[in-house]
Amino acid sequence: MSGGPMSSWRQQALVHAPLEKVWELVGDPNRYPEWASHIVEVTGMPRIARDVTFRQVTRTANGTSAATFKIEELEDLRSIKMRCLDTNTYTRFVLTDARGETFVDVETGTASATLRDRALDAMKRKLFFRRLVNGLLDGLREAVAHRGDSDASPPGSTAGASSPGSPRKHAE
């Protein structure tokens, strides 16, 4: 990775659904608007493959913003990493089977090349990335819980409920 120091946030969570069900959502950026509340639309991606680019419209505080993304890494049922070609921001998901549930490791961040970027990193980006990752994990949990799959939650659990130490939804 080129550029200056990295600003990023990485978090892990257990999702109460089989790996295949989680991968159906995480491994296909076309499906992100179904569960990632900040993503409005994904276009221009007829197939999921390494080095494919696509456009993503994201909800922002000032409306929406469109950007071009590229899939940099892709390992079926295991991991996907995408980078925004406009902002150099990346998001990477790594999934691991956990006895019928799925351990999700998600990281998002950016390379800081300018002094202005480094100042933003120090002041706001860590918080922004933490909230983004929390929202992604909450949305993913909610999506698999609402799919109506009988295997989305283990017996006796509350689908989509946060467990101690898991991220909480933030009011917007």
Answer whether residue 171 shows pLDDT above 90.
Answer: no
Q: What is the pLDDT of residue 119?
A: 67
What is the full DSSP assignment across 57-122?
EEEETTEEEEEEEEEEEEETTTEEEEEETTT-EEEEEEEEEETTEEEEEEEEEEE--SHHHHHHII
Provide mean pLDDT across the span 76-86.
Answer: 95
pTM here?
0.77
Q: What is the pLDDT of residue 92?
A: 96
pLDDT digits (tens, 9 = 90+) for 112-128: 666 666 666 666 777 88
Give the start-to-end residue ranges of the domains of the chain: 6-146
Q: Are 125 and 5 in contact (CB under 8 A)?
A: no
CATH number for the domain whose boundaries are 6-146: 3.30.530.20
3-state class (DSSP) for residue 10: strand
Residue 43 has pLDDT above 90, yes or no: yes
Q: How far apart are CA 97 and CA 150, in angstroms?
A: 18
